[in-house]
Structure 1
Amino acid sequence: MVRIISSLVGAAFVFVLAIALFGTVKTAITEPAKEGPEKVFHLHPEDIHLSSAGWFGKFDNRQIQRGFQVYKEVCSACHSLKYVAFRDLTKIGYSEAEVKAIANQWVIEQPTVNPETGEASTRKNVPSDHFPSPFANEVAARAANNNALPPDLSLMTKAREDGPNYVHALITGYRNPPAEMKREFPDFTTPKGLHYNPYFANLNIAMPPPLTQDGQVTYTDGTKATRDQMARDVAAFLTWTAEPNLEARHGAGLAAVIFLAIFIFLAWGAYQNVWRDVKH
């Protein structure tokens, strides 16, 4: 008797779940949920065709140096680069003397402790140091940025989909919300302290436009510093910081493909030689 009652209860439970599932599926088909503004007005970045893109891509050191200049004069005020050391700059064409000067003149000095007094102090940067954070800690970073935490940029182009293109699009994508958005989504607003950017996931970003005008940076190589050019250059620089061994990886991959092609050819030749006298 107990077994029969248990079976009936189980069957009733399954029946109720089946009805609920059917109702959910039917509603999803007949009355699909309306897409929000984040889906409708979110834009995907265009390809900026960096020289490092593609299977045979190589870094353009001149462009990366310009991008480093943009980072130094604009981005470093808020964003850290903690996985990159000053001496790594020799890989993009700077001499050891230039790297030493860059490290020594960097605005943010390294925290240290006076060995004689035990008191906290600072010292000049040296080439072996990593780029210091512009803020002492997370609390200080949030306090200076309307409670938003500026992300570290060392691996940014690897952490974001379509990284270099995303960086370029985000930097140059600030604008006013389109008129059709106000018609379709009258409740959508950009909160105070945020900025509308269709390339950002939820359309509202805490970071103010970092590049506001042409000529904001004066390039040492004489290149005209338009907003688009500066955004492309800093995207190229951050591509290098995220994957400084990209060229070596491409070279190793090409060598592996050539080796496999030769191996397959030799294996095919050996197969033909071994079985050449066998009659089918």
Structure 2
Amino acid sequence: MLARSCLRSTRAIASARNSAVTITKRAASSSRSGSAADSPLRMNIAAVAATTVAAGSIAWYYHLYGPTAHAMTPAEEGLHAPKYPWVHEQFFKTFDHQALRRGFQVYREVCASCHSLSRVPYRSLVGTILTSDEAKALAEENEYDTEPNDQGEIEKRPGKLADYLPSPYPNDEAARFSNNGALPPDLSLIVKARHGGCNYIFSLLTGYPDEPPAGAQVGDGLNFNPYFPGTGIAMARVLYEGLVDYEDETPATTSQMAKDVVEFLNWAAEPELDDRKRMGMKVLVVTSVLFALSVWVKRYKWAWLKSRKIVYDPPNSGKSRH
């Protein structure tokens, strides 16, 4: 009896020890699993917070400085041009062709004496600004060099529709000499080459004050214009009331002439705008129809698969096994 009781006590002590070890292991495993479950959550929270801070920093920087790089000081950059509601910038609008015709008249009578338009041929004016006869007559007013003849002499010929608008100066040196050292830029791509585009050109043409403001320093031979970088521009004011007699009897105010010539210069830099918008509309219509057809075909082709019913038929457990 004594031996049995001793054996039973020894077994009880061993089972108590084993149960304590088991409880300890379970507690450790539960704590580890809890920490393991918490660590992905913490990592996700940290990733979301870091992404939010980065996106907020980028948005704040974009709000402060915008998408473009600016000059070091406002004097180097010039006054920022305001935004004007140009009709041709709307999605479903095209150029005002009457304004293009008036703008070309302003260029010929005012701007062509100093600025060239060397990338625009006469043929591009046909159907948009001038008729074919008007463009041919305008081209024949100028003379162009022909190919050298048998004696090596270059003769002159009247212009053709394939020729480009002539430059007012034979070379850059002559242009600088005639403008006190300043080189008038070519206006073919001037709208695309200036920050602000149409808004900048319009503000520049209409931004000449009667007198420079107090404290403004303008160099010799320069004119004050707040929209020009440095505020000192070699070109003087050229647009005045009634300077041009429009053939459609539109009042030739300064702002009207500036608006017309800016629209013409925008057309010169992007003559395919109307065709591109027209083609874009066709692409949108055709793409919408094809998308609708593709959705219908997809639903038709896969209807048998999406509408099928899958039924699970379990085996009959009541049958005896043999």
Q: Identify whether the pair has TM-score above 0.5, normalized to the shorter chain.
A: yes
Deviation, 1:130, is 0.4
Deviation, structure 1 residue 152: 1.0
CA contact (8 A) 2:81 2:199 kept: no
- The gaps in structure 1 that reach 5 residues or longer are 1-34, 183-187
The equivalent position to 1:277 in structure 2, one of 301, 307, 317, is 307
Q: Identify the match of residue 46 of structure 1 among 68, 75, 83.
A: 83
Contact 1:68/1:237 (8 A) holds in 2: yes
Letter in 2 for 1:232: K
Q: CA–CA distance in 2 between the matches of 1:121 and 1:189?
A: 50
Q: Which runs of 5+ in 2 are unaligned?
A: 1-71, 311-322
8 Å CA contact 2:81, 2:196 repeated in 1 = no
Structure-2 separation of matches of 1:279 and 1:248: 53
**2:259 aligned with 1:222:** no
1:103 matches 2:139: yes
Q: Out of 91, 94, 99, which is 1:58 matched to?
A: 94
Classify the secondary structure of the residue corresponding to 1:77. Answer: coil
Counterpart of 1:231?
258
Q: 1:279 to 1:191 in 2, by over 3 A?
A: farther
Shift of 1:174: 1.3
Q: Does residue 249 of the first structure (1) align with residue 249 of the second (2)?
A: no
**In the superposition, relative to structure 1, how do residues 41 and 105 fare at CA in structure 2: closer, same or farther (>3 Å)?**
closer
Tell me the SS of whatever aligns to 2:181: coil
8 Å CA contact 1:195, 1:208 repeated in 2: yes
Structure 1 equivalent of residue 18 of structure 2: none
Provide the C-alpha distance between the structure 1 equivalents of 2:295 and 2:148, rounded to a whole number of angstroms: 69
> Which position in structure 1 is the counterpart of 2:181?
147
**Could you tell me which residue of structure 1 aligns to residue 233 of structure 2?**
205
Measure, in 2, the Cα distance between the counterparts of 1:227 and 1:111: 38
What is the aligned partner in structure 2 of residue 11 from structure 1? none
Count how many residue pairs are aligned between Structure 1 and Structure 2: 235
Alignment partner of 2:126: what SS? helix
User: TM-score scaled by structure 2?
Assistant: 0.66
Report if aligned partners of 1:46, 1:169 keep a CA contact under 8 Å in 2.
no
Equivalent pair of 1:84/1:130 in contact (CA under 8 Å): yes
1:92-136 deviations in whole A, cap 9, x for unaligned? 142221111112235xx3244663654455443222210011111
Listed one character per residue, the Cα deviations across residues 2-38 of structure 1 (whole Å, up to 9, x for unaligned) are xxxxxxxxxxxxxxxxxxxxxxxxxxxxxxxxx7441
Percentage of identical aligned residues? 40
Distance 1:195 1:120, change over 3 A: farther
Q: Equivalent residue for 2:166?
A: 132
Higher relative contact order (CA 8 A, sep 6+): 1
Residue of structure 1 equivalent to 2:293:
266
Please name the residue that 1:163 is paired with. Answer: 197
Give distance in 2, aligned partners of 1:249 and 1:98.
26
Aligned equivalents of 1:43, 1:242: Cα separation in 2: 22
Q: Are residues 41 and 155 of structure 1, via their aligned partners in 2, closer, same or farther at CA, if it must alter by over 3 Å? A: closer
Task: Provide the rounded CA distance (Å) in 2 between the counterparts of 1:101 and 1:140.
Answer: 28
Q: Distance in 2 between matches of 1:39 and 1:147?
A: 21
8 Å CA contact 2:77–2:228 kept in 1: the answer is: no
Give the deviation of 1:257 after TM superposition.
Answer: 2.3
Find the aligned partners of 1:279 and 1:173 in 2 and give their Cα distance.
Answer: 75
> 1:44 & 1:272 partners in 2: Cα distance?
53
Contact 1:113 / 1:122 at 8 angstroms: preserved in 2? Answer: no
Who is 1:196 aligned against?
224
Instruction: Give the stretch that moved more between structures: 241-250 or 160-169.
Output: 160-169
In the aligned structure 2, how far is the partner of 1:243 from the partner of 1:129?
19
Q: Give the structure 1 partner of residue 208 of structure 2.
A: 174
The 1:171/1:270 distance shift into structure 2, 3 A limit, reads same
Q: Secondary structure at the match of 1:110?
A: strand
Q: Deviations over 1:118-162 (max 9, x none)?
A: 445544322221001111111111111121111111111222233
How far apart are the structure 2 equivalents of 1:53 and 1:41? 24
Greater Rg by CA: 2
Counterpart check, 1:80 vs 2:80: no
Q: 2:125 maps to what in 1? A: 89
